[in-house]
Amino acid sequence: MSANTSSKQQTHKLSIASLSAAFLVDSSEEQALPLLWPHMFSALGATVGQLGTILGASRLMTTILYPLWGYAADRYSRKMILVWFTGFWGLWTLGIAFVGNYPQLLTLRVISGLGLGAFAPAAFSLIGDLFDNQSRGRATGIMRSVGLVGIIISVILLPTLTENNPDGWRIGFALLGLASFLSGLFLLVLKEPIRGASEPELSSVITKENANRYSFTWTEFWSLFKIRSWRYLLFNETLTKTSLAVFTGWNFTFLTELELKPPFFYIVIFVVFMGMMIGNIFFGWLGDRLDQRLSSRGRVTMIQIGLFASVPPLLGYLNSSGGNIPFLLLFGFLAGTSYTATSEGVVWPIAHAILPPELRGSNRAIISIVVGVLSALALSLSGIVADARGVTTAMLWFVPGLIVLSAIAWIPMFRVYPRDRENLHRLLIQRRENLLNVK
């Protein structure tokens, strides 16, 4: 192994480790308030229902700022965006540990939430330039799995801090704030790659200087909507992510209505997330392998099969009873695993393969906006159904139903994705020729 190859591998390991650590902390922060709210609202003079106001206001501000984060990720240093706004910005979360009333909490939660939208556009763009098309799925899957570890840690650790200490929730927010700051320091080891550096057509000719010839412009931005594969990808992610939002949003209530008691309540949740963790790594790796063997239709085929295959375990899980723990655990694990057949480790490399490097951050921002708005709408509608027909019925309508719709809508990708992938290849070849001519 050459020294250059060894150095490159070390850079990749440090990069994915630092991105994973940042995602872990972000995931933990996102779950902290819902988990700790039952132990803190009375101390702040708030009502139980005011949690909805805080979460809604925070999500709204995050969604509004997605265009800014997408633009910034395509124009400026993605590394420093992550260092400041997903790392050091976490000190606002530490400030929540010292709030004395509801207005202070609302203000700090909204401010701390502003940085949560910075991660996806910057990380998506970075992974596209750090890893080639045969390793992006595995890298993204690892990052996503570590993020799920953050959720598991939150579910297990944060409530235990409050068992014998009424102010234990303050310790939880203090720990998360410090962890975010430390993840910002760790992100400093990440090496900022040149945009387009991992594309085989450009890798030998691209430099920091000539890469600026292909920087983000608003004219290029609108060309996103002309890429048919990207439109289908947007529709697919909207449906699958909305389904997942409803599933995770109501899952705790669903298990409570099954009258599950500790430790089985937490065991089922742990098993579901373990399925998601394993699935993220496995499908990310499998997608990379299929891309090597089947080229442009490998990942597309895996997603199609995964969408249809996820429906039976989801139906089995949602129709399980609290009295049959083995079946609940089995279907929970399979449901969590099958969900990840359309996770970031699978769909991100597809987007990388059809989008020029300078538009990748903006792509992620647009998808996040649409998913955020429609997920919020679906959660509200599912609440109406839950009141009228019950939580299980609401989940049956919005979870497997949206997955089936996504599976049907995915079929045209077999035709349009190879074309759009070839279009990007021709574009990058033309850029290579232009750069060689400049030399």
Taking only the tens place, the pLDDT of each residue in 129-180 is 999 988 999 999 999 999 888 888 888 888 888 888 889 999 999 999 999 9
Across the range 224-239, mean pLDDT stands at 94
Residue 3 has pLDDT above 60, yes or no: no
- Contact indicator for 395, 253 with CB cutoff of 8 Å: no
Residue 218 lies in a domain: no
Q: How many domains does the chain have?
A: 2
Across the range 251-261, mean pLDDT stands at 82
Residue 383 has pLDDT above 80, yes or no: yes
Residue 237 lies in a domain: yes
pLDDT at 312: 95
Q: Tokens 């401010």 identify what position?
A: 111
Residue 90 lies in a domain: yes
Q: Which tokens sit at 208?
A: 């920091």
Rounded distance between C-alpha atoms, residue 191 and residue 12, angstroms = 9
Assess whether 189 and 245 both reside in one domain: no
Domain boundary among 169, 193, 217: 193
Assess whether 127 and 273 both reside in one domain: no
Across the range 46-72, mean pLDDT stands at 84
Residue 269 has pLDDT above 60, yes or no: yes
Across the range 24-34, mean pLDDT stands at 87
Where residue 282 sits, what CATH number does that domain have? 1.20.1250.20
Residue 26 lies in a domain: yes
pTM (predicted TM-score): 0.88
Residue 302 lies in a domain: yes
Across the range 192-218, mean pLDDT stands at 87
pLDDT at 281: 92
Assess whether 171 and 263 both reside in one domain: no
Q: Which domain holds residue 429?
A: 225-439
**SS3 assignment for 42-97:** HHHCCCCCHHHHHHHHHHHHHHHHHHHHHHHHHHCCHHHHHHHHHHHHHHHHHHHC
Assess whether 163 and 234 both reside in one domain: no
Domain boundary among 174, 193, 212: 193
Assess whether 274 and 368 both reside in one domain: yes
Please tell me the least confidently modeled range out of 307-311, 370-374, 400-404. 370-374
Amino acid at residue number 200: P
Cα–Cα separations (whole angstroms), residue 279 to 26, 28, 98, 361, 364: 20, 20, 39, 25, 22
Range with top average pLDDT, 62-66, 120-124, 291-295, 382-386: 120-124
Residue 404 has pLDDT above 70, yes or no: yes
Assess whether 5 and 113 both reside in one domain: yes
pLDDT at 426: 95
Give the pLDDT band (50/70/90) at residue 294.
confident
CA neighbor of 140 nearest in space, from 343, 339, 357: 343
Rounded distance between C-alpha atoms, residue 79 and residue 416, angstroms = 33
Assess whether 278 and 396 both reside in one domain: yes
Residue 21 has pLDDT above 90, yes or no: yes
Give the pLDDT band (50/70/90) at residue 29.
confident
Rounded distance between C-alpha atoms, residue 350 and residue 8, angstroms = 23
pLDDT, one tens digit per residue, over 354-371 is: 999 999 999 999 998 898
Across the range 235-253, mean pLDDT stands at 87
Q: Which tokens sit at 353?
A: 């393969």
Across the range 78-92, mean pLDDT stands at 93
Residue 207 lies in a domain: no
Q: Coil, strand or helix: which one is 58? A: helix
Calculate the average pLDDT of the chain.
Answer: 89
Residue 359 lies in a domain: yes
Assess whether 172 and 253 both reside in one domain: no
Assess whether 187 and 232 both reside in one domain: no
